[in-house]
Amino acid sequence: MAAPNPDPWNRELEKVIREALTSIKFGTVTLIVQDSRVIQVDKSEKIRLNRQGHIDGSGI
């Protein structure tokens, strides 16, 4: 039986991070670390509207 990979950085983690980064135009990707290991990847995406589509709140 092979020993578990002690390296906290692996191909699966790299793939998840690359997918998160390439799938958003504006926003953040946050890595959650516990005991020196990444346990969670959070992605928060912002949607930017152009001037024509901008909602300014007038009339509310």
Query: How deeply is 32 buried, as exposed, middle or buried, from its count of CB atoms within 10 A (0-12, 13-18, 19+)?
Result: exposed
Determine contact, residues 24/43, Cβ cutoff 8 Å. Answer: yes
Domain ranges, ordered by start, for the chain: 11-45
pLDDT band per the 50, 70, 90 thresholds, residue 58 = low
DSSP code of residue 58: T
pLDDT for residue 48: 76
pLDDT for residue 47: 83
pLDDT single digits (tens) 26-57: 999 999 999 989 999 999 998 877 766 566 66
